[in-house]
Amino acid sequence: MNNTVIRSLSGALFLVIMTGSLLLSPVIFALVMMLSVFVMLKEYTDIALGKLYRTGKLYAIISGLILYTLFYLVYGFGADSRLFWIMVFPVSSIFLSALYEKNEKGEVRKEGYINSSFLIVALLYIALPFSLTNTILFDSAGEYTPNLLLSMFILLWSADVGAYVFGMAFGQKSGHKLYPAISPKKSWEGFFGGMLSTLVTAVILQLSGLISFPIAHTIAISLIIFIFGVFGDLAESLFKRNFGVKDSGTIMPGHGGLLDRFDGALIAFPVAIAYIKLFGLI
């Protein structure tokens, strides 16, 4: 079975799990997202820190799962927002764990304080963006409304497909490189193809009623998701290149790890959500 078929089957299964859980139940989707956050935090910290700092990595993963749970409870079930103060304890433990990280000689690792910053970055880069999705999954009455987040995923996926198709068709042989120092395969042809695909998809989502914002806001959100999705992809590529890693993991055959699959969303979704909230669209 060639790589294209494997990649297609793996991607299709991913889409079924994501869309199915999102439409089926808020509890099932929350469990899927928590599992995704867990896997991505592990991928990120394993790349950055290898087999070291196991206690700190455990605290970082626990912190990320707690953060997602708190956003879910506060925005989905009206829990007291003071619960967010709980985060002080696991986050503080991340720094404290560095004090007890020993090297082969049994000495405290002097670089422990610096390396522990990767664990904090993991929370900001991975756990926080997906925690923020809970702010648009529920309306002011606490009712589950998955259409907007589903539309954001569809826009992101359409951007990926458009960029891939146009990049393969026009950008691979004689195209113009987008950012060769970080991602040699990306081209400007793929970039504009992805943008076109995203805009067409945005109009379809608007006409179908999945997005109910004024068309100007729908177009703005689609462009935000596309542009910052590209930045997210490049940022993750730079992270992997820094540590000499090709893929973040092996959980998705043909794609790599979950971090490889969600890289665009990690930056695009928080910016899009900030736009939605700043303009009071929900």
Alpha-carbon gap, residue 17 to 54, rounded angstroms: 30
In 102-214, alpha helices (H) = 112-122, 128-132, 134-137, 147-166, 188-208
Instruction: Identify which has the larger pLDDT, 102 or 272.
Output: 272
184 residue type, one letter: P
Per the domain annotation, does 11 fall within a domain? no
Are 55 and 111 members of one domain? yes
Residues 111 and 161 in one domain: no
- In degrees, rounded to 5, the angle at the alpha carbon of residue 162 between the alpha carbons of residues 190 and 16 is 140
Domain boundary, last residue among 144, 160, 179: 144
Domain end residue (candidates: 144, 165, 192) = 144
Residue 189 located in a structural domain: yes
For the chain, the average pLDDT equals: 90
Q: Is residue 7 part of a domain?
A: no
Q: What is the mean pLDDT of residues 4-23?
A: 84
| 164 part of a folded domain | yes
Q: Pick from 81, 112, 144: which residue ends a domain? A: 144
If one counts every other C-beta atom within 10 angstroms of the C-beta of residue 178, the result is 21
Query: Is position 211 within any domain?
Result: yes
Host domain of residue 131: 25-144
Query: Does one domain contain both 39 and 109?
Result: yes
| Residue % of the chain over a pLDDT of 90 | 63
- Average pLDDT for residues 159-173, to the nearest whole number? 83
pLDDT of residue 1: 57
In a domain, 174, yes or no: yes
Regarding whether 164 and 94 lie in a shared domain, the answer is no
Residue 113 shares a structural domain with residue 194:
no
Q: Are residues 152 and 248 in the same domain?
A: yes
Residues 104 and 227 in one domain: no
Do 183 and 105 have their domain in common? Answer: no
Q: For residue 77, what are the contacts with CB-CB under 8 A and spacing of at least 6?
A: 142
Among 8-12, 95-99, 113-117, 161-165, the range of highest mean pLDDT? 161-165
65-89 pLDDT, tens digit per residue, is 999 999 999 999 999 999 999 999 9
| Within-domain flag for 4 | no
Give how many domains the chain has, as a whole number.
2
Is the same domain home to 137 and 182? no
- Whether 53 and 117 have beta carbons less than 8 Å apart is answered as no
- In a domain? residue 219: yes
